[in-house]
Amino acid sequence: MRYIDEFRDRGLVKGLVRDIESASTRKTNLMEVCGTHTMAIFRSGIRRILPASVNLISGPGCPVCVTSQSDIDRMLYLAGRKDTIITTFGDMLKVPGTESSLEKKHASGADIRIVYSPLDALAIAEANPRKKIVFLAVGFETTAPIIASVISDAAEKKISNFFVYCCHKTIPAAMKALLETREIRIDGFLCPGHVSSIIGSRAYEFIARDFNVPCAISGFEPTDILETILMLIRQKKDGRACVEIQYKRAVQEQGNVKAKEMMDRVFEPSDGDWRGLGVIHDSGLKIRKAYRFFDATAEFRIPALQAKEPRGCACAEVLRGIKTPRQCGLFAKTCTPETPFGPCMVSTEGTCAAWFKYNRN
């Protein structure tokens, strides 16, 4: 399948659905841990064509959504500094903190600039030597290498006014935490395609080995996702648990070695604070001592803040897969993309945003 139309071929889709129906002999819970998969599943109507025995659950696959309330409040504190320019990707603007948001801070006069790459943030630092420029690094392993590269560039150029507030997190650690809590039964994981193009398939081998849970790395087109679901169901039916790569055109077993080397050079594992999951050991990335000059937490004295989750918001439960958005009393009522109460409605990869756009009826 070389061209995009082939990945959406009606005949192939029907054939894959028939194979899934034939192979699925009992109730199976499959979780996707990628926000792009969540959106693709809803956009293409995959949930509606699967047999009732296959239950798709959306997990913590959106980096904006899993950023803790405490980290959001710290970002807002930095945005309130007169000598600071905040640079961020656009999907962070509307995420509500305890008392405000970056969007509201910007409306009140804070210098907050949307960038499309951390390279843009570095350019802003070079153009504004009397200001302190902070880039809000929110993401998974997909974006960590480029941010590491920019920090390395800043060091080489001796740029002294560029800082990174690092909220990077690693997906396999969250998958492990979900399995250990046993709040829901997970019979298989649709592993993220973008993340896996960096870390490779070996990063998930412990899930199959230690938890006996099948894994398959999926692409993002309808036939990709359906074929991945079929792989997982067949593993379960055969009593197997391994890591398969459906998305072979982008993912290799060893991942992107150079990207991983750059990430490991600048970052080291740290405890990560996840919305809905709490603090998970070694699930975050922090800037290594050699590059500590660029760490915003080392440059700024951020006071202890009392973060509070939005009252009535079920984002934490949605991210763990124990609730659907419809089970939140705020969903599509007081909480909408225009007036979001929680990050799952803000982000374009958020589960609540997907349900609101494609599955409200």
pLDDT tens digit sequence for 16-26:
999 999 999 89
79 closest CA partner among 135, 25, 127: 135
User: Would the pLDDT of 6 be above 80?
Assistant: no
Contact partners, residue 315, CB within 8 Å, separation at least 6 = 65, 275, 276, 309, 328, 342, 343, 344, 352
Q: What is the mean pLDDT of the chain?
A: 95
Predicted local distance difference test score (pLDDT) of residue 359: 79
Tokens 């590491």 locate to 148
Predicted local distance difference test score (pLDDT) of residue 241: 98
Q: Are 190 and 47 within 8 A, CB to CB?
A: no
* Tokens matching residue 10: 């009606």
Tokens 């945003």 locate to 353
Q: Are 251 and 201 within 8 A, CB to CB?
A: yes
* Tokens matching residue 284: 């975050």
Confidence class for position 2, pLDDT limits 50, 70, 90: low
Cα(66)–Cα(91) distance, rounded to whole angstroms? 13
**Do you know the residue count of the chain?**
361
pTM of whole model > 0.95? no
DSSP codes joined into one string, 105-125:
HHHTT--EEE-SSHHHHHHHH
Cα(356)–Cα(354) distance, rounded to whole angstroms? 5
- Give per-residue pLDDT as tens, 234-280: 999 999 999 999 999 999 999 999 999 999 999 999 999 999 999 99
* Strand segments (E) across 138-266: 162-166, 188-191, 215-217, 243-245
- Give per-residue pLDDT as tens, 206-234: 999 999 999 999 999 999 999 999 999 99
User: Would the pLDDT of 332 be above 70?
Assistant: yes
Domains of the chain by residue range: 1-312, 315-358
Predicted local distance difference test score (pLDDT) of residue 309: 86
Cα(307)–Cα(72) distance, rounded to whole angstroms? 9
User: Would the pLDDT of 1 be above 60?
Assistant: no
Contact partners, residue 164, CB within 8 Å, separation at least 6 = 118, 134, 135, 137, 147, 151, 287, 294, 295, 296
Q: Measure CA 93 to chain center.
A: 16
Q: Measure CA 322 to chain center.
A: 18
Predicted local distance difference test score (pLDDT) of residue 304: 86
Partners of 245 in beta bridges: 217
275 closest CA partner among 68, 71, 35, 33: 68
Contact partners, residue 83, CB within 8 Å, separation at least 6 = 131, 132
1-312 placed in CATH 3.40.50.11740: yes
Q: Are 16 and 176 within 8 A, CB to CB?
A: no
* Tokens matching residue 118: 């951390």
Cα(23)–Cα(20) distance, rounded to whole angstroms? 5
Predicted local distance difference test score (pLDDT) of residue 3: 59
Predicted local distance difference test score (pLDDT) of residue 230: 98
- Grouping H, G, I as helix, E, B as strand and the rest as coil, residue 361 is coil
Cα(226)–Cα(299) distance, rounded to whole angstroms? 48
Over range 192-218, report the average pLDDT.
98
Q: Are 215 and 162 within 8 A, CB to CB?
A: no
**In this structure, which amino acid lies at residue 155?**
A
Confidence class for position 40, pLDDT limits 50, 70, 90: very high
Over range 51-62, report the average pLDDT.
96
- Give per-residue pLDDT as tens, 138-161: 999 999 999 999 999 999 999 999
